[in-house]
Amino acid sequence: MRAVILGGGPGGLYFAISLKLRDPSHDVVVVERNRPNNTFGWGVVLSEDTLGNLDANDSVSAAAIRSAFVYWDDVAVHYCGALARSGGHGFSGIGRQRLLNILQERARSLGVELRFETEAKDLHEYCDFDLIVGADGVNSKVRAAHADVFKPDIDVRACKYTWLGTKQKFDRAFTFIFEKTEHGWLWAHAYQFDADNATFIVECSEQTWRNVGFDTMSSEEAIEACEKIFAPYLNGNTLMSNATHLHGSAWLNFSRVLCERWSAGNVVLLGDSAATAHFSVGSGTKLAMESAIALANYLHSEPTMAKAFARYEDERRLEVLRLQNSARNSTEWFEDVERYLNLDPVQFNYSLLTRSQRISHENLRQRDPEWLAGAEKWFEAKATGKSSAVARPPMFVPLRVRGVELKNRVVVSPMAQYRAVDGAPTDWHFVHYAERAKGGAGLVFTEMTCVSAQGRISPGCTGMYDADHESAWKRIVDFVHAETDAKMAIQLGHSGAKGSTQLGWEVADAPLPSGNWEVVAPSPVPWSADNQTPRQMSRADMDKVRHDFVHAAEMADRAGFDWLELHYAHGYLMSAFITPLTNKRTDEYGGSIENRMRFPLEVFRAVRAVWPNDKPISVRISANDWVGADGVMPQDAVAISRMLVEAGVDLIDVSAGQTSTRAKPVYGRMFQTPFSDRIRNESGVATLAVGNIYEPDHVNSILMAGRADLVCLARPHLADPYWTLHAAADQRYGEVAWPKPYWPGRDQLVRIKSRNETLTGKV
């Protein structure tokens, strides 16, 4: 086969090597516009795993790469005058130039023809080759030539960066430096890549970049300005650029590249031309080189080029998407870093280390148990005002809100049971809530409990509007208080246009087959074409609803509830006022966000006035309608939360969606937690996070990174009422109160877990 590879970066060169290794009779040419010793960028980081893959593919070049590596273990973070250092991260770095030289030499020794200083302009020049590989990087011309087939999606990210080098030693740690200037924050990613040189990437927001005046400076002036800003860390050493042979500014915006397809006829994309991963996760070179192995493998194993391309794409796309996901989290963390710049250095460091969500609490424990124990102690001291000799998992650190002390941070999220009779909770509810309270969570929420018969979602929903509702709830709350140390919260709501529908396990959100009742809403907008059109609420209706909420709150207090939550999420009545998707009013309750919040705030204030001062109120909101700019977006949720907090709300319970049938939610592990993070850190309010959080590790990471103050788990508590007790046993945390009659069960569980650990060698 005659193959031409356009682009002699790590991807292109490594593919040439891999192809030749599989069949030396292939005629392989690499076309590179630069000279062999001319490249942009400084050092790159490769992991031990990647090196293992390279070793298996070509032990010769892997050995040369390994011998050129510098290793370091720590991550150091300079922030607000503090230096935080954690270990166990295990990096190895190599100069990009050195890597290319090793690959060039290896390719040449295998008989690859390297054509340097040759610009690939037109694919037609290469029509006599059987295979054309587009390994020409992020601005690929090959990709552009077949854009109609590859369908690239290029997302130019917000921050500005420049890739510099320095003789200053950063040989003990991968170092992040966050520096505040009069123009805004700038930060550097610095790491050693050979005995004498370190990479020094400077990054900042576009606004800061303009404020500093980088937009009008020459490269030399910009480097000088960076040297001044980072002088305390450079020890008199200069910053250096090797981008002088490149056209244009040395400042770039990172482009995230995705392509719908990676091949067109005999042309195939490889490395950055097909997909990029942000440099803050240091994986672009790894992706390019591992893709090179896969492509060479399949060209060798498959009977046709088309089949080889299909298998190559199948295998690599998954890995690329996984990495791009982590890279996106990491990119966004740096883009939004100003949000975190009020955090204590310990929490800031933790948030930085876990930014991509690839590293969790327990990963950090494995890497550096001492550092993590210190961070856990810091968390506890901050929450309780007392220092502790022994670290405990963040999920077991108490939280005080007003006069209520929660023993831990785990919350049983509100979950409708559809087992009420005329609004009254039954024995089902007694057993259900009693079990969850015995299961160890600090706070147990009731399901949405409706403030009137009309405000019920279904005929099976609980209410708080009749005397027998109050007494039935009181029986449950009394039991929980007498037999456990969990606190009980009631969630009060009104269904609005989503009322008069079937039970949860029947047809979701569909009207009843018979016996429907009238529903009301801010505007006559039905939930769907199948639902009844609600009656638009008059001011008198609003007075009645406000009164019902107040009345229900008074009953809830008498029933003994410790905590009250107003349900302003998921498309029910209050949420329907907040979102412009269902609030079409033209009076003072519709239009601007202030107008749409007017009635929900009025109800909250009226409830707060009767709810005892020492008991908290949280409000659950939908922080994203998942319909784009037509609905509530996460930035609007920050504004909504600020209004609620100004009115006196103690915590925001951050949910999302269920406000429109048009919603296109993006699900995933902890998928709503970023909204909680944003609200908490941009508006300084305490939050509850919820949504696909199911492991103790998730809970600890969320709390420790300051993404929420409490963590709600819904479905995990349906599967396991004792989720918290089991989580404690999993983490060898013995300070949780099991109900006395269950102590023998606790002891056996701990014994079994310890024995399993000994057997598996995990201690």
Ligand X SMILES: Cc1cc2nc3c(=O)[nH]c(=O)nc-3n(C[C@H](O)[C@H](O)[C@H](O)COP(=O)(O)O)c2cc1C
Ligand Y SMILES: Cc1cc2nc3c(=O)[nH]c(=O)nc-3n(C[C@H](O)[C@H](O)[C@H](O)COP(=O)(O)OP(=O)(O)OC[C@H]3O[C@@H](n4cnc5c(N)ncnc54)[C@H](O)[C@@H]3O)c2cc1C
Please identify every residue annotated as catalytic: 572
Q: Which of 66, 85, 89, 141 binds ligand Y (CB under 6 A)?
A: 141
**Where are the alpha helices (H) located in 166-218, listed in sequence order?**
206-212
CA distances from 515 to 286, 451, 635 (A): 63, 20, 41
Binding flag, residue 692, ligand X (CB under 6 A): yes
Binding flag, residue 201, ligand Y (CB under 6 A): yes
Cα separation of 357 and 505, whole Å? 34
Chain centroid to Cα 66, Å, comes to: 33
In 3D, which of 122, 152, 108 has the Cα closest to residue 8? Answer: 108
Nearest approach, Cβ of residue 454 and ligand X (Å): 17
Q: Which of 70, 294, 713, 728 binds ligand X (CB under 6 A)?
A: 713
Question: Helices (H), strands (E): how many in the chain?
Answer: 25, 29
Considering beta carbons, is residue 165 or 394 the nearer one to ligand Y? Answer: 165
Cα separation of 504 and 372, whole Å? 42
Binding flag, residue 656, ligand X (CB under 6 A): no
Considering beta carbons, is residue 26 or 698 the nearer one to ligand X? Answer: 698
Q: Which of 3, 16, 17, 44 binds ligand Y (CB under 6 A)?
A: 44
Handedness of CA 631, 636, 641, 644 (dihedral sign): negative
* Token pair 């939280």 in the structure block, residue: 399
Nearest approach, Cβ of residue 569 and ligand X (Å): 6
Considering beta carbons, is residue 325 or 692 the nearer one to ligand X? Answer: 692
Considering beta carbons, is residue 45 or 714 the nearer one to ligand Y? Answer: 45
In 3D, which of 634, 682, 624 has the Cα closest to residue 656? Answer: 624
Number of residues that bind ligand X (CB under 6 A): 21
Q: Which of 3, 4, 5, 8 binds ligand Y (CB under 6 A)?
A: 8
Binding flag, residue 504, ligand X (CB under 6 A): yes
Residue 290 CB partners (closer than 8 Å, separation 6+): 50, 53, 316, 319
Nearest approach, Cβ of residue 58 and ligand X (Å): 45
Q: Which of 331, 349, 413, 624 binds ligand X (CB under 6 A)?
A: 413
Nearest approach, Cβ of residue 13 and ligand Y (Å): 7
Binding segment toward ligand Y, per CB under 6 A, in 10-18, 259-267, 377-385, 678-686 = 10-18
Binding flag, residue 492, ligand X (CB under 6 A): no
Binding flag, residue 283, ligand Y (CB under 6 A): yes
Chain centroid to Cα 358, Å, comes to: 10
Binding flag, residue 671, ligand X (CB under 6 A): no
Binding flag, residue 690, ligand X (CB under 6 A): yes
Binding segment toward ligand X, per CB under 6 A, in 119-127, 332-340, 515-523, 685-693 = 685-693
Considering beta carbons, is residue 242 or 692 the nearer one to ligand X? Answer: 692
Asked if residue 521 lies in contact with residue 497, where contact means CB atoms within 8 angstroms, the answer is yes
In 3D, which of 327, 302, 332 has the Cα closest to residue 315? Answer: 302
Considering beta carbons, is residue 288 or 415 the nearer one to ligand Y? Answer: 288
Binding flag, residue 95, ligand Y (CB under 6 A): no
Q: List the beta strands (DSSP E) in 270-427.
A: 399-401, 404-406, 410-412
DSSP-based three-state secondary structure for 732: coil
CA distances from 681 to 617, 632, 708 (A): 20, 19, 9
Binding flag, residue 166, ligand Y (CB under 6 A): no
Binding flag, residue 420, ligand X (CB under 6 A): no
Binding flag, residue 444, ligand X (CB under 6 A): no
Cα separation of 322 and 262, whole Å? 17
Nearest approach, Cβ of residue 713 and ligand X (Å): 5
- DSSP character at residue 126: G
Q: Which of 143, 146, 456, 620 binds ligand X (CB under 6 A)?
A: 620
Nearest approach, Cβ of residue 655 and ligand X (Å): 5
Binding flag, residue 267, ligand Y (CB under 6 A): no
Binding segment toward ligand Y, per CB under 6 A, in 27-35, 145-153, 414-422, 463-471 = 27-35
* Residue 567's binding partner out of ligand Y, ligand X, none, with CB under 5 to 8 Å set by partner kind: ligand X
Considering beta carbons, is residue 97 or 502 the nearer one to ligand Y? Answer: 97
Half-sphere exposure of 251 (CA within 13 A, CB side): 24
Q: Which of 74, 272, 376, 447 binds ligand X (CB under 6 A)?
A: 447
Residue 309 CB partners (closer than 8 Å, separation 6+): 262, 263, 268, 298
Cα separation of 368 and 670, whole Å? 24
Binding segment toward ligand Y, per CB under 6 A, in 28-36, 517-525, 576-584, 660-668 = 28-36
Determine the Cα angle at 178 with ends 193 and 175, to 5°: 25
Binding segment toward ligand Y, per CB under 6 A, in 133-141, 301-309, 411-419, 599-607 = 133-141
In 3D, which of 39, 41, 163 has the Cα closest to residue 101? Answer: 39
Binding flag, residue 203, ligand Y (CB under 6 A): no
Q: Which of 4, 19, 28, 31 binds ligand Y (CB under 6 A)?
A: 31
CA distances from 374 to 86, 183, 340, 347, 678 (A): 11, 34, 20, 11, 26
Q: Which of 140, 491, 579, 687 binds ligand X (CB under 6 A)?
A: 491
Binding flag, residue 331, ligand X (CB under 6 A): no
Site for ligand X in 693-712 (CB under 6 A): 693
**Where are the alpha helices (H) located in 504-538, listed in sequence order?**
none
Site for ligand X in 570-609 (CB under 6 A): 570
Cα separation of 154 and 281, whole Å? 18
Q: What is the gyration radius of the CA atoms in the chain, in angstroms? A: 30
Nearest approach, Cβ of residue 95 and ligand Y (Å): 11
Binding flag, residue 7, ligand Y (CB under 6 A): yes
* Residue 714's binding partner out of ligand Y, ligand X, none, with CB under 5 to 8 Å set by partner kind: ligand X
In 3D, which of 712, 655, 652 has the Cα closest to residue 679? Answer: 652
Residue 120 CB partners (closer than 8 Å, separation 6+): 6, 7, 31, 33, 126, 136, 141, 142
Q: Which pair of structure tokens corresponds to residue 279? A: 């440099």
- DSSP character at residue 501: B
Binding flag, residue 432, ligand X (CB under 6 A): no
Considering beta carbons, is residue 272 or 625 the nearer one to ligand Y? Answer: 272
Cα separation of 751 and 739, whole Å? 18
Binding flag, residue 567, ligand X (CB under 6 A): yes
Considering beta carbons, is residue 288 or 476 the nearer one to ligand Y? Answer: 288
Binding flag, residue 659, ligand X (CB under 6 A): no
CA distances from 311 to 137, 295, 300, 579 (A): 22, 8, 12, 45
Nearest approach, Cβ of residue 506 and ligand X (Å): 13
Q: Which of 200, 279, 418, 568 binds ligand Y (CB under 6 A)?
A: 279
Binding flag, residue 452, ligand X (CB under 6 A): no
Q: Which pair of structure tokens corresponds to residue 236? A: 């008199």
Site for ligand X in 249-288 (CB under 6 A): none
Task: Provide the binding-site residues for ligand Y, judged by CB under 6 A.
Answer: 6-12, 31-34, 41, 44-45, 119-120, 135-137, 141, 163, 201, 271-272, 279, 282-286, 288
Task: Provide the binding-site residues for ligand X, judged by CB under 6 A.
Answer: 413-416, 447-448, 491, 504, 567, 569-570, 620, 655, 690-693, 713-716
